[in-house]
Amino acid sequence: MKRAARLIIFYAALLGLWTLLAELKIWPPYLFPTPWGVGEALYAGFQDHSYWIAIAVSMRRVLIGYAISVVLGMILGLGVGSSKFLEETMGGLLVSLQSLPSICWWPLALLWFGLSQNAILFVVIMGSLLSVTLAMEDGRKQMPKIFGMAGRNLGASGFQLFWQVLLPASLPFIVSGLKQGWAFAWRSLITAEMLYLSLGLGQVLMMGRDLNDMGAVIAVMILIIAIGYVIDGLVFKSMERHLQHKWGLTSST
Amino acid sequence: MSTNAHNFPAQLPIPVEPRTPSFVGGVRKKSGLGLPPPRIAHEVSKVGLSDICLSYRTQSGERLLALDHINLQVKAGEFLCIVGPSGCGKSTLLHLIAGLHQQTSGKVLIDGKRVQGPGTDRILIFQELGLFPWLTVGQNVEFGMKMKGIGKAEREEKTSYYLRLVHLSQFKDSYTHQLSGGMRQRVALARALATEPDVLLMDEPFAALDAQTRDLLHDELERIWFETGRTIIFVTHNVREAIRLGDRVALLTFRPGRVKREFPIDLPRPRILEDTHVALAAREILDELREEINRSLEVEYNVGVKPRVEPGVEQQ
C-alpha cells in the first residue's frame, strides 16, 4: 500500500508540473499541449477507431517478426553455443552486429523487399534476432551440463533432447534475453513504421506531426509505452515468476 | 530384457525372505560355479568391462591416464560396489558404462554386446541426481518412459507404481525443489527404475545425506533390488556402505584407476552398518584402501610426507 501511495504522489506531481507548465503558456498549446489535450486526442483516436486499427496492425507485425526471430535465434544460438568453431567465428560477429541500430537495415530492406510489409518485418527481425541468439547461446553455456547428460541417459536424443530437456533447462537463462529481444523488436517496429507510412502506430504518430497536433503525438507515445510495458509485465514478468517458482529460485508460493 | 524379472508388474511385489534373496526375480539361481557369492550364476556377464583405458589431456597439456586396463564382470542380478579414493575414476567408469563418454580403448559389454552410446537398458543415477526442476516429481519419473514411446495409460500406471515403491505417492505433483534431499534421492531412484533398465548405475548417491536418511535408503534400495532383480553397480567412497549393500566390492587404485582387489561379501542380509561383521570386513578393505588414500592425499597436498591416517577411520 505504501508503494502505491508513493506512486500516486509521484504521478500526480508529474501531471501537476505538466499542467502548470502548459498553463503558464510559455509555448503555444499546439507545441506544448495540456494533459487533457492529450486525453482528448486519445479519446478521439479510439472513438474513430484509428488507434484500434493502428494497434492491431502494429501488434500483428511485431508478433510475426518476433516469432520468426525467436525461432531463428534459437536455432542460431544453439548452433553457436554448441560448436567451438561457430562460437569463435560467428560469436564475435554477432556481438559486433548488436551495436548496429536495426533501422540501419532499412535502406537494404527497401531495396530487397520493396516498400512493403516484408521490409518492416525484416527490420523487426534484425532488431530482435541478435538478442535472442546471444541469449540462447548464453543460456546453453550457463545451463548445468548434468541436465543434458541426464536426458541422454534416459533415452532422449535429437529433437526430443532439445525440446524436452535442453530448451526447458536453459529457459531461466534465456528469458531475460527473450525479453530484451521483445523490447528491441517493438522499438524497431515503431521506427520502421515512422519511416514507412502504412497504418501502424508509427504512422499515426507521424500523422500527428504532419498535422502539427502535439496532443496526438504524445497520445501515441503514451500508447507505445503502455503496450510495451503491458507486454513486459504480463508476458515476461509472469514467465519469470513462473520459472522461478518452478525451479525454487524464490520462496514465493 | 533377458529375464522375466522385467515383466511389469506381473510378479511384483515378490515376497522376500531377507536372508535368501537368491530366488528373486528368477535371475539368481543356485550355482555351482563356486564364484562368490555362490547364488549368482550366468555364463555371460550382464556387464563386462574388458581392458578399459581412459586417458585425457589436462589443461597444462600433459596426458593423464585415468583408467588403466579395468577388467570387471558383473553378473545379472548382482550388486557390485566399487570403492576407491576420490579421483580414482570410479564415477568416470560409470559414465563409460552408461555410454555418456567414450573410453580410449577397451570394451564395455552388455550381455556380450558392445555399448555404442547411451541406452535405456542402463540407467545412471548421477551424484548430483540431475532431476529436472521444470517437471513435477511424476513427470520426472515418467520422462524415460515418454522417451521410449510408451503410451500414456501405461506411463501413468507405472509412474504411480514406482512412486509407491519409493514411498512418494503423495508428492507426485510437487516440484523437486520442494522435497528434502532424501526424497529427491528417491525420486531419482524411481525415475531410473521406471525406464526398467537391466542395469542400474549409482554414483555415490547417498554421499550428501545425513546418516539416518542414508540408513533408511540403504534398506529401501536393498528391498527394491530384491523386488526388481536389477543388476546394480554402486560407486561409493564409503567402505562400510559398500559392505552393507554389495555382493562384491571392487577396490580401485588411485590414478591411474586399476582394479586392485575384489572382495566377495558373504555376510547374510539384511546387514547392519554397525554390525561387527561389517566392521571386520571393512577393516580388511580399509587396510588396502588406506594406501591409495595416502597416495591421493600426497598428490592433493603435493607434499612428500605421507599424512597419517588413523586405523579404522574412514575417509569421508
Q: Output phi, psi for A87, to 5 deg.
A: -65, -45
List B123's β-bridge partners, or say none: B200
Distance from C-alpha of B143 to C-alpha of A156, rounded to nearest angstrom: 9
- The answer for A 60-79 residues in CB contact with B (under 8 A) is none
Question: For residue A66, what pLDDT is reported?
Answer: 93
Contacts of A156 in chain B (CB under 8 A): 143, 147
Tell me the mean pLDDT in the region A32-49.
Answer: 86
Share above pLDDT 70 across residues of chain B, in percent, rounded to a whole number: 81
Q: Which of A154, A168, A171 shows the shortest C-beta gap to B147?
A: A154
What's the pLDDT tens digit per position in A97-140?
888 888 888 888 888 988 888 888 999 999 899 888 888 888 87
Question: Which three-class secondary structure state does DSSP give residue A156?
Answer: coil
Phi-psi region of B199 (alpha: psi -120 to 50; beta: other; left: phi over 0): beta
Lowest mean pLDDT: which of A76-85, A114-123, A176-185, B303-312? B303-312
**Could you write out the DSSP letters of every residue in A109-130?**
HHHHH-SSHHHHHHHHHHHHHH
Tell me the mean pLDDT in the region B155-172.
Answer: 87
Tell me the mean pLDDT in the region A73-98.
Answer: 81
Question: For residue B43, what pLDDT is reported?
Answer: 62
Chain A interface disruption, residue of B120, B122, B132, most A CBs within 10 A = B132
At B305, is the pLDDT very low, low, confident or very high (cuts 50, 70, 90)? very low
Interface check for A167 against chain B (CB to CB < 8 A): the answer is no
Chain A interface disruption, residue of B147, B199, B201, most A CBs within 10 A = B147
Share above pLDDT 90 across residues of chain A, in percent, rounded to a whole number: 14
Check CB contact under 8 Å for B124 and A153. Answer: yes
What's the pLDDT tens digit per position in A208-233?
888 888 888 888 999 999 998 898 88
Check CB contact under 8 Å for B147 and A247. Answer: no
- The answer for B 137-166 residues in CB contact with A (under 8 A) is 143-144, 146-148
Cell of B238: 564409503
> Closest chain B residue to A249 measured between Cα atoms?
B177
Question: For residue A208, what pLDDT is reported?
Answer: 83
Distance from C-alpha of B66 to C-alpha of B70, rounded to nearest angstrom: 11
Distance from C-alpha of A181 to C-alpha of B156, rounded to nearest angstrom: 39
* Of A196 and B175, the one with more pLDDT: B175
- Taking all residues of chain A, what is their mean pLDDT, rounded to a whole number? 85
Tell me the mean pLDDT in the region A29-41.
Answer: 84
Tell me the mean pLDDT in the region A135-146.
Answer: 83
What's the pLDDT tens digit per position in B83-118?
888 777 888 888 888 888 888 888 888 887 888 888
Contacts of B126 in chain A (CB under 8 A): 146, 149-150, 153
Interface check for A147 against chain B (CB to CB < 8 A): the answer is yes
Question: For residue A10, what pLDDT is reported?
Answer: 93
What's the pLDDT tens digit per position in B26-85?
344 333 333 344 444 446 788 888 887 888 887 777 778 788 888 888 888 888 999 888
Distance from C-alpha of A233 to C-alpha of A228, rounded to nearest angstrom: 9
All residues at 6 or more sequence positions from B228 whose CB lies less than 8 Å from its CB, including other chains: B5, B12, B25, B193
Q: Which is it for the CA torsion B232, B238, B241, B246, positive or negative? A: positive
Question: For residue B303, what pLDDT is reported?
Answer: 55
Does B12 score more than 50 pLDDT? no
Question: DSSP character for B308?
Answer: P
Check CB contact under 8 Å for B134 and A154. Answer: no
Q: Which of A153, A154, A247 shows the shortest C-beta gap to B134?
A: A247
Question: For residue A1, what pLDDT is reported?
Answer: 67
Question: For residue A69, what pLDDT is reported?
Answer: 92
Does B307 score more than 70 pLDDT? no
Distance from C-alpha of A117 to C-alpha of A106, rounded to nearest angstrom: 12
Could you give the ipTM of this predicted complex? 0.71
Tell me the mean pLDDT in the region B194-209.
Answer: 86
Closest-CA distance, A131 to chain B, in angstroms, reads 24
CB atoms within 10 A of CB A86: 16
Does A13 score more than 90 pLDDT? yes
Contacts of B147 in chain A (CB under 8 A): 154-156, 160, 164
**Could you write out the DSSP letters of every residue in B98-140?**
HTSS--SEEEEEETTEEP-S--TTEEEEBTTB---TTSBHHHH
Question: For residue A250, what pLDDT is reported?
Answer: 58
Closest-CA distance, B254 to chain A, in angstroms, reads 25
At A197, is the pLDDT very low, low, confident or very high (cuts 50, 70, 90)? low
Q: Where are the beta strands (DSSP E) in A31-116?
A: none
Residue whose entry in the numeric block shows the C-alpha cell 523487399? A113
Lowest mean pLDDT: which of B121-125, B197-201, B248-252, B312-316? B312-316
Does B11 score more than 50 pLDDT? no
Residue A17 CB-half CA count within 13 A: 6
Question: For residue A198, what pLDDT is reported?
Answer: 74
Check CB contact under 8 Å for A153 and B128. Answer: no
Question: Which three-class secondary structure state does DSSP give residue B159?
Answer: helix
Question: DSSP character for B6?
Answer: G
List B109's β-bridge partners, or say none: B48, B114
* Stretch (H or E) spanning B72: strand B63-74
Distance from C-alpha of B204 to C-alpha of B128, rounded to nearest angstrom: 9
Tell me the mean pLDDT in the region A230-238.
Answer: 86
CB atoms within 10 A of CB B30: 10
Task: Measure the CA dihedral B143/B148/B154/B158, to 10°.
Answer: -50
Does A253 score more than 50 pLDDT? no
Interface check for A165 against chain B (CB to CB < 8 A): the answer is yes
Check CB contact under 8 Å for B134 and A156. Answer: no
Question: For residue A28, what pLDDT is reported?
Answer: 81
Top mean-pLDDT range of A66-80, A239-253, B99-113, B263-277: A66-80
Give the full edge-to-edge strand order of the sheet including B79-83.
Answer: B122-125, B199-203, B231-236, B79-83, B248-252, B259-264
Lowest mean pLDDT: which of A105-114, A198-207, B129-138? A198-207
